[in-house]
Amino acid sequence: MSEVLLSVKNLRAWIDAGAEPLRAVDGIDFDIHRGETFAVVGESGSGKSMTALSILRLLPDAAQIVSGSVMLDGRELMGLPESEMRDVRGKRIAMIFQEPGTSLNPVMTVGAQIREVLARHLRITGAEAVRRVVQLLEGVGLPSPAHRAAEYPFQLSGGMKQRVMIAMALAAEPDLLIADEPTTALDVTIQAQVLDLLRDLQRTRGMAVLLITHDLGIVSGMAHRVAVMYAGRLMEVADRAQFFGAPRHPYSRKLFESLPGAASRGGELAVIPGQVPALTENFTRCRFVDRCDVAIPACREGEPAMTVLAPGHSVRCVRASEPATTYGGAAAHWDAAEFGKEPQPDALLKVSGLKVHFPIRKGLLRRTVGQVKAVDGIALSIPAGRTLALVGESGCGKTTAGKAIIQLIDPTGGRVELDGVALNELRGEALRRSRRDYQIVFQDPYASLNPRMRVGDILAEGQVALSDNRDPAAVMDRSAELLRQVGMGEESLGRYPHEFSGGQRQRIAIARALAVRPKLLVCDEPTSALDVSVQAQILNLLKNLQRELKLSYLFITHNISVVEYIAHEVAVMYLGRIVERGTVAEVLGAPAHPYTRALISSVPRIDAAGGHPVVRLGGELPSSVNPPKGCHFSARCPQVRDDCRSKYPEAVALSETRTVNCWLHGI
């Protein structure tokens, strides 16, 4: 084992919250060795990010470190004056924050922001600093680095901004890199590139990484050791193989059981009941006991200490020595008969030739000089009671297509037919009345609910506007029924959105969408902002509602594991067009289009051995203003041929339920 670089002992960081402090970090111990990746996983609110901020002494004003030691290379950081601590930050320890869009200065070019780090820690200025900036941006795989250095953050995509953050963090060649959810906002293809980059840089520089994430697939591919955090405490610490081979804490096992995928599509996902306990409590029991399904009286007789099960594997549980359960490593098994022998119901939704083009206007007279072809002629259909997943990278047009289908955006061309009615031909009152048949669940439950309205008013609004249910008592009864349908109590009617957790807010958003008894729900990334345990609750809910109410779903997502669990069919979208379409078994079991293969291979998978083959894509998604000639994927395709660059391929039927647009499959 290499020498210890960072040693954290009995670290406590509390937040002033009134009568009792909020014990965000409540006595944790761990070591990080040179050159290793130490991953910390757990639900939101468990204290992961606060731990990282405590190490760097970057706590908010209301928080303070009340005890503990943080030793970096044998040097105590907790007692350093702030002037010396500023030399540690950036130079010895650097941090990649979760949201690059808010972490970069919007009024400075990215090159200027990196030059600040070089000047502060390495005393490099002038032409040498400019040269180093270009080298750093080139090193993180940013195309046209000299050009990008002169751009502002708003001119870059999410993946580019995250690469800039990495370049800035690595500018002074730190010994330890803290990566706080470094890929949360990225597509799986860009995520794979960023993770590859971190692995390569770690290998070449001997850098240690503290990785904070809730994605167990990423942990499986990146980490050497894993720590599970819950309610301010570490519950389990183990080597990667030990943890993924047989996690021992009940909370760790629940995290695995909550993961969606092909293996669980026939049943319900395991959920963790209840909520994380209030961290203002001075715990005299196991913190997980109220949510644990294997708790015994001894769990309430004092907070358990860490039990060493094997070298490098410790668990905070009174039942730690009991037999373990094995998870991960099994490949998905697709049974085509699951789909092939089912009678195919008639299509509820039919979309043909759908286009959404946005004009680009310039000059004093605002003349149109071009078109952004966000959606460029797609066709799809969804039978009653079925789910079609629409997948692809950010910027491919998924959300725009969903909004155009339900007429939140006026289509430029094409036809959208729901239950025999052409929605794009409706106007005025007829269009308004049709909205009872289709609704949308937005990605962000924080932003999609009116913070000034009580839940009862939110649920009543659609009923009064779009249904015949106008009687106040009947509206209230229906609202209470909706809350029960989504697993919430009637007492929630009088509360405001801010009084609920993220998962509860998403349930309210689903209840609002169901209020007018729609036939079709467009679900736009409804679980992307949620922890895996809360995600499991929402996915179970959506499946149960579909079974009970015969709902059809257009499920927009980039999470392939969610698609494996919930969808019947998949449409893969790239640069405004659908490139492959078929049943889940066909498309995910044996992808035909090179882009589909790259997309699926980029998904982090849980594997105790750590890692699986990934198809690497170069560059970023091309502009939808000037897409490549011929096949739009030709500029990034690893199997490109001359004919791919000359003409866009027509759809080829590979089976009764499957089509692909690719020259490799002939026309």
Q: What is the pLDDT of residues 288-323, one digit of tens each?
A: 999 998 999 999 999 999 999 999 999 999 998 887
Cα–Cα dist 644/629, whole Å: 9
Has residue 68 been placed in a domain? yes
Tokens of 665: 């499959």
Cα–Cα dist 271/260, whole Å: 11
Has residue 445 been placed in a domain? no
pLDDT (0 to 100) of residue 344: 62
- Site of tokens 């091309």: 622
Has residue 58 been placed in a domain? yes
pLDDT (0 to 100) of residue 336: 44
pLDDT (0 to 100) of residue 337: 42
Cα–Cα dist 612/600, whole Å: 11
The beta strand positions in 528-633, using DSSP E, are: 552-557, 569-574, 577-583
For residue 62, what is the enclosing H or E element? none
CA 228 vs CA 48, 233, 309, 552: distances in Å: 9, 8, 15, 37
| Res. 277: pLDDT tops 80 | yes
Among 229-238, 293-302, 323-332, 485-494, the minimum mean pLDDT is found in: 323-332
Farthest CA pair distance, the chain: 77
Q: What one-letter code names the amino acid at 532?
A: V
Report the C-alpha dihedral over residues 359, 145, 631, 347, rounded to 10 degrees: -60
Q: What is the pLDDT of residues 630-662, one digit of tens each?
A: 999 998 898 999 889 999 999 999 999 999 999
Q: Is the dihedral of CA 119, 124, 129, 131 positive or negative?
A: negative
CA 464 vs CA 187, 408, 438, 441, 452: distances in Å: 39, 20, 16, 19, 18
pLDDT (0 to 100) of residue 324: 63
What's the whole-number average pLDDT of the chain? 88
Q: Is the dihedral of CA 533, 537, 542, 547 positive or negative?
A: positive
Among 116-125, 338-347, 403-412, the minimum mean pLDDT is found in: 338-347
Please give the distance of CA 237 from its chain centroid, rounded to a whole number.
Answer: 24
pLDDT (0 to 100) of residue 338: 47
Has residue 398 been placed in a domain? no
Q: Ranked by mean pLDDT, which of 73-87, 341-355, 436-450 comes out on top?
A: 73-87
- Specify the higher pLDDT residue, 395 or 210: 210
Section 188-197 average pLDDT: 79
Tokens of 397: 């047009």
CA 438 vs CA 172, 211, 544, 549: distances in Å: 53, 41, 18, 13
CATH of the domain at 197: 3.40.50.300
Domain span at residue 235?
Answer: 4-92+174-315
Has residue 213 been placed in a domain? yes
Cα–Cα dist 110/134, whole Å: 11
Q: What is the pLDDT of residues 143-164, one digit of tens each?
A: 789 999 999 998 887 778 888 9
The beta strand positions in 488-576, using DSSP E, are: 520-524, 552-557, 569-574
Cα–Cα dist 539/535, whole Å: 6
Has residue 523 been placed in a domain? no
- Residue 267: pLDDT band by 50, 70, 90 thresholds? confident
| Res. 501: pLDDT tops 80 | no
CA 71 vs CA 30, 150, 182, 239: distances in Å: 11, 38, 24, 22
Cα–Cα dist 578/480, whole Å: 40
Section 195-211 average pLDDT: 87
| Res. 370: pLDDT tops 60 | yes
- Contact between residue 624 and residue 397 where contact means Cβ atoms under 8 Å apart: yes
CA 132 vs CA 95, 122, 137, 566, 567: distances in Å: 20, 11, 9, 47, 47
How many structural domains comprise the chain? Answer: 1
| Res. 452: pLDDT tops 90 | yes
pLDDT (0 to 100) of residue 558: 82
For residue 10, what is the enclosing H or E element? strand 4-15
As a whole-number percent, the residues of the chain with pLDDT over 70 amount to 94
Among 360-364, 539-543, 621-625, the minimum mean pLDDT is found in: 621-625
Cα–Cα dist 528/532, whole Å: 9
Among 219-233, 357-371, 478-492, the minimum mean pLDDT is found in: 357-371
Strand 176-180 to 208-212 pairing: parallel
pLDDT (0 to 100) of residue 120: 93
Cα–Cα dist 433/483, whole Å: 24
| Res. 510: pLDDT tops 90 | yes
| Res. 401: pLDDT tops 70 | yes
- Residue 32: pLDDT band by 50, 70, 90 thresholds? very high
pTM summary value: 0.85
Cα–Cα dist 414/423, whole Å: 11
Cα–Cα dist 46/239, whole Å: 21
pLDDT (0 to 100) of residue 326: 52
Cα–Cα dist 162/9, whole Å: 31
Has residue 429 been placed in a domain? no
Among 89-93, 320-324, 445-449, 547-551, the minimum mean pLDDT is found in: 320-324
| Res. 103: pLDDT tops 90 | no
State the DSSP string of 403-422: HHHTTSS--SEEEEEETTEE
> Nearest 5°: CA angle at 629, between 623 and 630?
120
Q: What is the pLDDT of residues 598-610, one digit of tens each?
A: 998 888 878 655 5
Section 394-404 average pLDDT: 90
| Res. 99: pLDDT tops 80 | no
Has residue 54 been placed in a domain? yes
